[in-house]
Structure 1
Amino acid sequence: MASLTWDWRNKFIDYLAEGKLPVDPKESRSLRTKVARYNLIEGKLYRRSFYGPLARCLRPGETDYAMREAHKGTCGNHFKAESLVQRLIRAGYYWDHMDEDMKTFIQKCLRKGIGKRGYQLHMGSHHMSVRHPDRDHM
């Protein structure tokens, strides 16, 4: 059952749990095509990917935390958004518009982190340590 707050996952959860389709035929056809990549397990939505395990689909409030965790320690290496998105997917995270969100997040980070001399001010550990959403009970 979908939450009371609408987010991008609701239409997938509604269809997988209850077979509910949008009224618009185009939207309905589109959803049936897209939903083949998703699973509903114990009320949580997951997306299949070529990059690793099932990725838990995060709600909007969880995405900032995941981006911060993925980016922490990698900003000094200037990883591109695409690379961080793939790392997040391999770590077991997914949300709609990940690419755009990560690009925006990195741009904000770069604006904050460039000093007067033009080099990176905040550099942390270079190891990627993103906690898995189910193993770490997020």
Structure 2
Amino acid sequence: MLLDDTNVISVLPVEAEEWRQPLIDYLKHGKLLDDPRHRSKIREEEANQAMEEAHSGVCKAHQSGPKLHFQLKIMGYYWPNMVKDCLEHAKRCQACQFHANFIHQPPEPLHPTAASWPFDA
């Protein structure tokens, strides 16, 4: 018995009461729910997804907050608290905090040294 080389994709319709339906309606038609709390939640989820993708997504650039803001603006995103959200997102990134430009050695007092040949040029 030989198998056919065609790809089979099964698609199931989404029920109207399902939790994904508001997201699908927003992404397909730009339609938001009437409840302002749900509206902000959907927009917030989209903003978090955009920040995550730009910060540590395909390219894994892990740029700082201002650079992340700049990248999102180039990609066509904008929301009122965008700069603040980008700064907070970069601060929460565990990989960025681990590899940050910090001195990881405890401070030690300086020890002055005397030159062995004071006027040697």
TM (normalized to structure 2)? Answer: 0.44
Larger radius of gyration: 2
Higher strand fraction (1 or 2): 1
- Greater relative contact order (Cα < 8 A, sep 6+): 1
